[in-house]
Structures are given as C-alpha cells and as structure tokens.
Structure 1
Amino acid sequence: MESRLADFITNASQVMNSTLAASVVALVETSSEIKENASVTVQHLVNEVRVLKDQLKVPSIYFLARITSDAYIQTTQDVVFQTVEVNEGQCYDPATGKFTASVSGMHLYWLPWETKSGYV
C-alpha cells in the first residue's frame, strides 16, 4: 500500500509539474502576443493623433499695411492701402482693399487713429 501511495504521489507530482510547465509556456507566448498587439495598436493611435493634429492646425492670417498720405475715409468705403508690409496668408487684396479670411472665426482689426479696436 505504501508503495502504491508513493507511486501515486510521484505520478501526480509529475503530471502537476508538466501541466504547470505547459501553462507557463502558454502564458509566456500569450503575453508576448499581447505585447506585440499592444505595440501595433499604440503605433496606430500615434499615427491617428498626428493626422488629427495636422487637421487642427489653424493658419496664421494677418496683414500690416499703411496709408502714406492723409485721406478722409468714409465708414462704408473700402480702404486700399498704398503700402502693404506683411500679408501673411494672402487674404488682403491690395488692388481692391478687400480682406477675405480663409477660415471662419473672430477677426480683430486695429486702427491706430481710433482709441479702441473693433471686431468684424
């Protein structure tokens, strides 16, 4: 009886050890696959964030111009500036005096002869 009990314990230990070893191997393989999949997923997310970031960029649009002579300008009159020093975004047309913003939003103008800024 003792011999059979010893054999049973030995066999049970071998089965448990082999099952445990197989489980460890399977866990290592699975964790390796999870790590690889996570790396691919993270790279896809990074690429998507870059695309979205590029889509959110708002262009710089502004112009700096001046009139070199005294002139009376009526409220509804378009102002054709004689000297355009900066026209970032090319939204001011110096031939017509029209400013057409290429993006929607709030646009600020400043007239140095006035005491305040205005919004259009």
Structure 2
Amino acid sequence: MKRLGQLLIALLGCLHLCGGHWGVLQCVAWSKMLVDYSAQDGFFEGARKTFDGAHPCAMCQSIAKGRQSEQGTELPSSAKRDLALKEVTLPQRILLHRPMVRTPETREFTVPSLAGDLWSASPPSPPPRLLGWS
C-alpha cells in the first residue's frame, strides 16, 4: 500500500511537470460540456458541439487563459544569455589519502564469559541410564 502511494505521488508530480494538470482540467470541461449539450440536442449533436471548438464553455476559456499565462512566463533575455555550460578548473591537484584501516588485531578487547561461571565443562555425574537397555 505504501508503494502504491509513492507511485501515485510520483505520477502526479510528473503529470504536473509536463503540464498535464491543464489536460486533466480540459477533460473535466469536455465531460461537462458533453453532458450538457447531449441533454439539449442529443448525443451526436452534443459531441459535435463539444469538440468543434466553436462552442467553448466558461471553464474551457479559463483553461485557455491559464495555459497562455503559464507559457508567457519566460526568462528575461539576460538570464537566457547566462545559461551556458562552463568549464570548471581547479587551482591544483586534489590528493585523496587512503583511510586508515583498523584490523581486529589492532583492537584490544576481551569478551566476558558469563556462562563460564554458571556451567562447568563436564556434567557432575554420569547421565542416567534408561531401564531395559543393556
């Protein structure tokens, strides 16, 4: 479920970056127009009026204005001039030193034996014998 949510958020973000939000709004507007025009004149005439471009609704006009205003926001010419790939030069060579490696032999530590005091190396008496076995 978490993965589905992440995928949905990623897809919505991509849709927004590509300008797909205008497309989604336009589909909603077309659906509303198709329902309204079909109720008045029948389905085929409603579909023709919806998609011919001569009968836009208020929502379609708002979407067109929004698209134009969004496309009209361009960078100034001075900012466009400064957008160029520039070579990065370093004043001197950068030397990277190998990190110091610590091996287990360089560390001095002991592991306390908690079980050594509780258990002895061998059982105190021989194990019991089962009856009936020779």
User: TM-score normalized by structure 2?
Assistant: 0.19
* Larger RCO (CA under 8 A, 6+ residues apart): 1
Structure richer in strand, relative to its length: 1
User: TM-score normalized by structure 1?
Assistant: 0.21
